[in-house]
Chains A and B, each alone.
Chain A
Amino acid sequence: MNDRMQELERKSRAAFDASVGSLPAATRSRLARSRARALEELRHRRLRWSSTWIPAGAAAAAVVGVMLWQGERAAPLAEPALAAFEDLELVAGADELDMFEEDGDFYAWAAEQAAGDVG
């Protein structure tokens, strides 16, 4: 960039800065009002956010609390179900299968006895 261009940059910027500094009072005032309106919008949005999400968060926390409390109350009800599961284990346990095998021998012996009686 040559010196003339740099000089042009400097002069044009100075002219622009001067024009910004001498804006009419009415325009400055309207710009300040625009700024105030934009910031008002920000406050409204924050208010809307807090009035929506804070109660929603509190409600969600309450629901979680109630669920946890209900969970604690519901825990004893699980005991009979656990007992039934243990019964099933006893029934299906290896000891019981042994008993079935012994009973099988008994039935075979009883069948032989019955055949002898007939013969």
Chain B
Amino acid sequence: MPEESMTRSATLPAPTALAGGRRAMREAALESERALERFLAGIERRAFRIAQLALRDHAEAEDAVQDAMIRLVRNYAGHPPEQWRPLFYRILRNRITDSQRREKVRRAVMAWWPGGDAEDEAADPLDSAMDPGGAPDAVLEGEELLARIEGVLAGLSSRQREAFLLRNFEGMDVAQTAMAMGCTEGSVKTHYFRALQALQEVLGEAE
């Protein structure tokens, strides 16, 4: 009897194997989706703040992060998870650059259009109001420092600003930053150092 069942299972393996393969594929897809969700949930707020610092526009920063998420999922979901962060920031960086170019063109056009800028929608102050968590003094001090840093970053070259945002704020290592910026590691080190120097010159004097 056991021999018979063995023969039976040996002669009919295909449907079981196919079903098992399909189930394994489905489980792998679900696990990959969960990993991607964890990654995006862990990165979205920092990415938004970085985009906001680069673009200085709340709504545009939200759009940039959403676009970067969709493009990452669309083009790189199958890549190894350790590559997602530099890839995501590379996409975000390109999106920010596009947005800055569009803004430059828009400003150039509006300069020829009397009163054009006045037609822009005023930003909702609630959108930019921070959640009052933590000790008020510490929050105020942090916000003040960040506002000053933002001012200095605005005056840096885009490469120096990117290197600072990714290395210091996002905590990426030199290799990941180089991948995200599409340049060499030596270049990242140089840009980052120059950014720090500029910040020290301005903020150090104020202290």
Interface-forming stretch among B3-11, B34-42, B99-107, B178-186?
B34-42
Given contact pairs A24-B126, A27-B58, A42-B77, A34 touches B131 in the complex (Cβ within 8 A): no
Query: Which A residues are in CB contact (< 8 Å) with B129?
Result: 24
Q: Is the interface of B mostly helix, strand, loop or mixed?
A: helix
Query: Residue on A with the closest CB to B171?
Result: A13
The answer, yes or no, to whether A68 is at the interface (CB within 8 Å) is: no
The closest CB in chain A to the CB of B77 belongs to A42
**A81: Cβ under 8 A from any B Cβ:** no
Docked Cα-Cα span, A34 to B142, in Å, equals: 28
Residue in contact with A21 in the complex, picked from B73, B77, B134, CB distance below 8 Å: B134
Interface size on A, residues (CB 8 A): 35
Chain A contacts of B132 at CB under 8 A? 22
A20 close to B46 (CB less than 8 A): yes
Minimal beta-carbon separation of A76 from chain B (angstroms): 28
Q: Does A70 contact B (CB under 8 A)?
A: no
Q: A12-B149, A15-B146 are in contact. Are A24 and B130 (CB under 8 A)?
A: yes
A13–B133 CA distance with the chains assembled, in angstroms: 17
Whether A41 and B70, one on each chain, are in contact in the complex, defined by CB atoms closer than 8 angstroms, is: yes
Q: How far is the CB of B22 from chain A (nearest CB, A)?
A: 9
User: With an 8 A cutoff between CB atoms, is B69 at the interface?
Assistant: yes
Q: A31 and B62: CB pair below 8 A?
A: yes
Give the total of B residues in contact with A, Cβ under 8 Å.
48
Instruction: Give the docked Cα–Cα distance between A14 and B138 (Å).
Output: 11
Asked whether B196 lies within 8 Å of A28 as measured between CB atoms, the reply is: no
Q: Which residues of the other chain, A, contact B29 by a CB distance below 8 angstroms?
A: 46
Do A18 and B58 form a contact, CB below 8 Å, given A35-B69, A38-B40?
no
CB atoms of B49 and A34 under 8 A apart? no
User: Shortest CB–CB separation between residue A114 and chain B, in angstroms?
Assistant: 79
Indicate if A4 sits at the interface (CB-CB under 8 A). Answer: yes
| Inter-chain contacts of A39 with B (CB < 8 A) | 33, 36-37, 40, 73
Which residues from A are CB-within-8-Å of B130? 19, 22-24
Q: Does B121 contact A (CB under 8 A)?
A: no
Whole-angstrom CA separation of A92 from B46 in the bound complex: 87
Per-residue B-contact encoding for A1-43, CB less than 8 Å = 1, 0 else: 1001100110111111011111111111011101101110111
Kindly list the 7 A-B residue pairs having the minimum CB-CB distance in the complex, ordered from nearest. A34-B66, A38-B69, A15-B142, A18-B142, A22-B130, A22-B131, A15-B146
Given contacts A13-B171, A31-B48, A39-B73, 10 further A-B contacts (CB under 8 A): A5-B196, A12-B169, A15-B142, A16-B168, A18-B146, A21-B133, A23-B45, A25-B131, A34-B66, A39-B33
